[in-house]
Chain A
């Protein structure tokens, strides 16, 4: 039987690799499409953002039915949580509303702290401190907390180290097994929590006797964040497949719109705005650079030395220091990028296509 399992695994792997190479092949064999994003008549970003917030939802009834279906499992989920497991929800669609609904209807006996993992940056120590304070409040109000434990306890504060705070969460301060706080982590695989240290810290928090973790993942590679120790002994995941098909309203907030940001017309627009705010001399330096790039489209860019000599000839700069100050300004606003040419010289390059450059020069003229 074990051998059967291995065979199945092998076949599956073979299937994966075959699909991968087929996909690669189809790129090579079929004609690579030459169509450009700029061929789409992209509307203004503001308009796009406004339209996004007003997208008419599809299948509202079915999505609501799906949610109602999950509501029937709430008691089962609480049971699993009380048995000491961490709950992990996956499947397509935002699970934010689902988890919060579960926590606010079925976990009323427990304090619940919600961590928004989809935000770009989260201070994990602040989170752990917050949890420790909630536990502290809970233990204080708890009649069953033994006096001996109370005397040993120290109120958690920001001056304590992360280890000390986690030790506090681990207790055990009371004999009752059912005393814990629930930590709901939306997108535990989110950008703010994705680094290994944070995951280690979350795993240690999850393993504490006074905490239980309820988390959601959306990224297909999320399980790679954890090693076996974390999965089996710390998080102790109990997996739940709960596709909701609800829009990622908050989770998607920090992703650039593909048809707007990063788009050349958009970059050219931004560049124009930036350039218009600079001094005429700085604009002229940029013009020199742009003209050189348009004249030599196949080169890596304009070497700094030749830019300096040209600018000196045209009385745009008097010294290398002045030029550098202009260049710093350009680099800060991502108007130029540094590259090296085959001779190893540092070259300046404007990351815009020729057409966009022409338009830009016209605009600042």
Chain B
């Protein structure tokens, strides 16, 4: 261990780093400081946004606190608000993914139970053999290893790691002994010992010096519930070392009578891959069975639907953010994990930057509890007034008073919006139709603005259609994007067959259950459809079908069309009336994250480009007044910046001599501004003398040049000269 400090440095004492600056900088690692024995002692007392009438008084008292404690408590509130919102989102994601996989999990479990009973039958028939400490000779049938192949159908397996953990948890909850192994356990370097060690570590919860199967066998026999199988989950077949995995399978198959092992292997490609990875001997031991997981598209749709469309308290994203996230998903490998990461960063940025975001949690709680709003504005005001001196002026109590109904209205409008989006999604479901695409269109404020002005007044409270059946004959007045998803859905509804339309209406009925007004209209549509149907049945019973068969068919088609058209018009009516994007609602900033640029910077830092921009535009970043001169390199500029800019004039090879000479020229040439001033100054002669004495010596220029080259080498923008070309260095980056 290197230099350590006993406790956190106090401001009065120099920190251990300052004290031993140079020493520490040349140590591979060192402890900068240690945490205080119990940091919770120094934390501000836990305070949440007051939600009871008594709380505001506490908040009022907080005004007496100094700025520092105000800062801390505000940070604490923000963190609480973020954790609350994010844990809601995470729970929703987990729930959705679980529901997608639950059928597969159940199937796996019942297959495991069956396989285990087969193993047990073999055991009872060959008892004398397994009574030995090492069950050496068993026939090939009983040596079979039941293997469940889970086809993930996903290129990036790490998206499914969570699923494999879930399988493990599920099986454990059903009494199985489960160990999760990863491809890292099957590496050639560690051999078979690596995976057995990992196995034993998970079951025995201690590390074993000499890992062997006998230890596992005795552990299994000592278990109370040794009438359940041992399930080994290997998440990534493709990345495992083939020979190690083959040896492992052979070993397990020899022991399977004594230790009833069932394998579950994740396969990203196809089951045929087993043949190329495993040795034939090991392959013969396997008795495989296939299971399918939900596809990535299914998962994405379900996750987006659950967290971005359905109600999620406290955090929404704007149209531009949604479009950015979709493009990021499409262009950057398309993994669910990266999408969730992007969402988390957006959530963090929202709660850490939006001054009122953390207040909302209290509001929602208040609304749920159904208490009076009276006490709340004061509490919000108190929290909000702590935000910053400049914000404090903007925020008066009246403004906060206005906030409460606005937030309630915002939540209601968003709920209506989500119902329409869900109806659209239900109607459009099918190949190549994803909820994220629909979301991008439904969130577009321009689309909403394209509605004919005044077609619907800003709806408040109860809505009234001018006549009861207006919605079924409604002619939409918004501009649909050509080939946009919404226009596709409208077309699709018009062309749906009777049975499909009926099932769609049933699904609409489910989604609209909470809004009676829309719900009734959906029911009306259902009645219309059923009525048309009954009429057709009656006509059939008159048995005139033979005569007017052709005519009837066309009539039915026309009637059906009418209901389809009505459904389509109804959809247009819903879109026009209720699909108000969050950005078009007042005070949406409190809950809606809009800063795409910040999100992009945090999510995918463009280091390659930015480092070059830093060097080429150093004067902008340093915001100095002396170097502002477009296209001319001035001696006052940062040395490395001068060097990198001047090497842009060369081809891919930079002649060191020429480069040095140009650098020297720039350094020795005084700034044009300076020269100009000198001319005007009466003491110019005197200054000139001083200037000459300040003239840079060759040593200084060379040392600066060397440092510049070393710095460019650190950034990787230059490749050093080779023995073959000792006078040239090579440029690596061309253009930003």
Contacts and interface: CB of A to CB of B under 8 A. Distances in A.
A288 interface: no
Contacts of B735: 15-16, 18-20
Nearest to A79: B352
B610 A241 contact: yes
A144 B640 CA distance: 51
A255 B605 CA distance: 27
A114 B32 contact: yes
Contacts of B707: 52, 55, 247, 252
A202 B713 CA distance: 24
Contacts of A4: 327
A30 B652 CA distance: 12
Contact of A258 (B29, B353, B656): B656
Contacts of B723: 351
B60 interface: no
B79 A104 contact: no
A239 B716 contact: no
A100 interface: yes
Contacts of A65: 623
In this complex, the member of B9, B75, B602, B705 whose beta carbon has the largest number of chain A beta carbons within 10 angstroms is B602
B326 interface: yes
B622 A48 contact: no
Interface stretch (B35-43, B382-390, B672-680): B35-43
Contact of A122 (B28, B327, B608): B28
Nearest to B600: A239
A114 to B, nearest CB: 5
B716 A5 contact: no
B374 interface: no
Nearest to A25: B651
B638 A59 contact: yes
Contact of A257 (B338, B706, B729): B706
Contact of B326 (A2, A47, A91, A223): A2
A324 B157 CA distance: 56
B32 A27 contact: no
A58 interface: yes
Given A59-B624, A126-B29, A33 B657 contact: yes
A41 B698 contact: yes
B702 A83 contact: no
In this complex, the member of B331, B611, B713 whose beta carbon has the largest number of chain A beta carbons within 10 angstroms is B611
B618 to A, nearest CB: 7
Contacts of A66: 621-622
B698 A241 contact: no
Interface stretch (A105-113, A302-310, A311-319): A105-113
B602 A23 contact: no
A116 B714 contact: no
Interface stretch (B106-114, B132-140, B341-349): B341-349
A111 B4 CA distance: 11
B731 A23 contact: yes
Contact of B651 (A27, A36, A37): A27
Contacts of B82: 79, 83
Interface stretch (A227-235, A291-299, A325-333): A227-235
B621 A245 contact: yes
Contacts of A221: 608, 716
A48 B702 contact: yes
Contacts of B335: 228, 232
A90 B28 contact: no
A96 B611 CA distance: 16
Contacts of B26: 116, 119, 250
A219 interface: yes
Given A220-B715, A245-B621, A239 B638 contact: no
Given A47-B699, A264-B726, A232 B348 contact: no
A251 B710 CA distance: 9
A260 B655 CA distance: 16
Nearest to A133: B1
Given A220-B733, A258-B709, A258-B720, A79 B348 contact: yes
Interface residues of B, number: 115
A271 interface: no
Contact of B714 (A28, A130, A161, A219): A219
A263 B401 CA distance: 75
Nearest to B708: A258
A12 to B, nearest CB: 9
Interface in B44-86: 71, 75, 78-79, 82, 86
Given A35-B655, A35-B658, A111-B33, A243 B607 contact: no
Contacts of B699: 43, 47-48, 51
Contact of A245 (B24, B27, B638): B638
A122 B615 CA distance: 30
Given A1-B440, A37-B656, A232 B338 contact: yes
A220 B732 contact: yes
Contact of A24 (B27, B207, B652, B715): B652
B439 to A, nearest CB: 12
B680 to A, nearest CB: 25
B638 A109 contact: no
A277 interface: no
B295 to A, nearest CB: 19
Nearest to A219: B716
B309 to A, nearest CB: 18
B726 A262 contact: yes
Nearest to B722: A262
Nearest to A53: B703
A119 B28 contact: yes
Given A82-B79, A103-B32, A219 B715 contact: yes
Nearest to B635: A58
A109 B39 contact: yes
Nearest to B703: A51
Given A111-B35, A221-B608, A228-B338, A248 B714 contact: yes
Contacts of B24: 114, 116
A6 interface: yes
B98 interface: no
A46 B602 CA distance: 44
B352 A76 contact: yes
A62 B636 CA distance: 13
B611 A92 contact: yes
A174 B34 CA distance: 18
Contacts of A164: 201, 207
A238 B602 contact: yes
B340 to A, nearest CB: 9
Nearest to B198: A163
Given A63-B622, A116-B27, A252 B710 contact: yes
Contacts of A92: 611, 614-615, 618, 640, 715
Nearest to A258: B709
B17 interface: yes
Contacts of A243: 610-611, 614, 621
A123 B1 CA distance: 13
B118 interface: no
Contacts of A255: 710, 713-714
A274 interface: no
B706 A90 contact: no
A35 B650 CA distance: 14
B595 to A, nearest CB: 13
Given A110-B35, A114-B29, A245-B638, A259 B601 contact: no
B168 to A, nearest CB: 16
Given A27-B653, A108-B9, A239-B607, 13 more contacts: A16-B734, A32-B655, A43-B702, A49-B703, A51-B699, A66-B621, A79-B78, A91-B610, A93-B614, A104-B33, A218-B716, A232-B338, A255-B713
23 contacts: A2-B330, A24-B652, A28-B651, A32-B655, A47-B699, A51-B703, A78-B75, A92-B615, A100-B32, A104-B33, A108-B36, A109-B39, A112-B33, A113-B29, A113-B31, A113-B32, A126-B29, A134-B31, A164-B201, A228-B156, A232-B338, A233-B337, A252-B711
Report, nearest first, the 7 A-B pairs whose CB atoms are least far apart. A239-B605, A27-B651, A19-B735, A35-B657, A51-B703, A92-B614, A19-B734
